[in-house]
């Protein structure tokens, strides 16, 4: 049954966003800046996707995608099921490499380096570009060992004390430390769903990524756990560049600075989140964000 409350809440929220947009839109912006984002940020994108196509075998699922992802900002990817959001996300750290027949054409650059160049160390790329999935996937190990995992296989610490310090810092960064500090050696599977998801975020943060890709990280969580993840995303963006896929329009509006709307394998438009939700350029975007389809 159609739930009319979502669009109504969204409209109320949109009205507040319009006001906020009006209050900042008059300010002059440096060239290349996204209005409303900190102007101290360098204008060059952290991730620069240009004319990218992604194929599974002969099937082209993403067509001619061009998107510049700002550093230290949250970029939300929205769009109906099957439009290619997860495929796009996986193309940013070459997770699609492990899918037989998957192929990327065009240019995807991180810090101006082509991540599909032959010389790229894919293991190092995935350390720099961490990923958190819809369904939390802790290893059947202790809480400590989950977070320590990447540090150990990458030989990133020199002593047990340093390892312990890094695990603690990662759990703190993922806002989980207070809840688990007394049971670090308990199984990760004994945690609640929301705690498991924060553990997976801690595991991703432990290896010091620069970019965090999150594929519907809160879709399986209750509203309180969802709120904790959203607050965490907000806190993390000062240190990381975050790209998040979400089906929840209010969540996209709350957590992101920039929103990109995908539809049938194409990027319809991207821009400042308040603009996308209140004054999008494309009718298709407006129909989607107001719940008229999808
Ligand atoms: N491993 C795969 N092999 C072949 N086709 C795939 C594979 N993964 C995804 N696809 C196809 O690519 C298209 C985009 O899928 P993708 O999972 O990226 O969409 P999505 O926007 O993330 O959808 P959802 O919102 O349901 O998660 C779909 O048509 C899907 O069937
Ligand atoms: Mg998906």
Q: Of 102-116, 239-253, 280-294, which range is least confident?
A: 280-294
> Over the stretch 218-240, which tens digit does the pLDDT of each residue have?
988 888 889 989 999 998 999 99
Q: Which atom of ligand 1 is nearest to the CA of 90?
A: 18
Report the pLDDT value the prediction gives residue 37, as an integer from 0 to 100: 52
> Is the confidence at residue 292, as pLDDT, over 90?
no
Beta bridge partners, 62, equal 54
Question: Pick from 272, 265, 268: which is nearest to 288 by CA?
Answer: 268
> Over the stretch 164-179, which tens digit does the pLDDT of each residue have?
999 999 999 999 999 9
Residues 144/107, Cβ–Cβ less than 8 Å: no
Question: Pick from 102, 105, 42: which is nearest to 70 by CA?
Answer: 42
Tell me the mean pLDDT in the region 286-292. Answer: 93
What is the pairing mode between strands 74-78 and 258-263? parallel
Atom 27 (ligand 1): residue with closest C-alpha?
Answer: 81
**Residue keyed to tokens 């159609």:** 2
Q: Ligand 2 center to residue 82 CA distance, Å?
A: 7
Q: Is 82 in the pocket of ligand 1 (CB under 6 A)?
A: yes
Mutate to test the pocket of ligand 1, among 60, 83, 251, 294 (most ligand atoms within 8 A of CB): 83
> Is the confidence at residue 21, as pLDDT, over 50?
no
Distance CA 9, CA 67 (A): 29
Q: Of 17-21, 119-123, 256-260, 278-282, which range is least confident?
A: 17-21
Structure tokens at 284: 């298709």
Question: Pick from 12, 53, 1, 17: which is nearest to 267 by CA?
Answer: 53
Atom 5 (ligand 1): residue with closest C-alpha?
Answer: 56
Q: Which residue has the higher pLDDT, 128 or 5?
A: 128
Q: Ligand 1 center to residue 49 CA distance, Å?
A: 19
């Amino acid at each position: 049954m159609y739930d009319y409350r979502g669009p109504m809440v969204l409209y109320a929220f949109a009205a507040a966003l319009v006001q906020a947009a009006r209050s900042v839109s008059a300010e002059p912006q440096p060239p290349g800046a996204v209005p409303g984002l900190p102007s101290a940020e360098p204008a060059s994108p952290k991730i620069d996707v240009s004319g990218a196509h992604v194929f599974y075998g002969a099937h082209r699922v993403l067509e001619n995608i061009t998107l510049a992802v700002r550093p230290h900002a949250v970029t939300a990817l929205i769009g109906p099921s099957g439009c290619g959001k997860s495929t796009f996300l996986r193309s940013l750290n070459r997770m699609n490499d492990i899918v037989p027949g998957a192929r990327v054409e065009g240019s995807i650059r991180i810090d101006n380096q082509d991540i599909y160049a032959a010389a790229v160390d894919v293991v190092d790329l995935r350390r720099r570009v961490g990923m958190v999935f819809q369904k939390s996937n802790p290893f059947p190990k202790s809480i400590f060992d989950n977070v320590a995992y990447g540090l150990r296989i990458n030989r990133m610490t020199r002593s047990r004390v340093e390892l312990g310090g890094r695990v603690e810092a990662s759990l703190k960064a993922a806002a989980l430390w207070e809840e688990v500090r007394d049971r670090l050696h308990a199984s990760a599977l004994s945690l609640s769903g929301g705690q498991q998801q924060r553990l997976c975020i801690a595991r991703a943060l432990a290896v010091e990524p620069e970019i965090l890709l999150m594929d519907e990280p809160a879709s399986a969580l209750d509203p309180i756990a969802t709120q904790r993840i959203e607050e965490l995303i907000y806190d993390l963006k000062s240190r990381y560049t975050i790209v998040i896929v979400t089906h929840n329009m209010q969540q996209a509006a709350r957590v992101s600075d920039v929103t990109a709307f995908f539809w049938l394998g194409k990027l319809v438009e991207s821009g400042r989140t308040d603009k996308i939700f209140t004054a999008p350029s494309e009718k298709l975007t407006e129909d989607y964000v107001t719940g008229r389809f999808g």
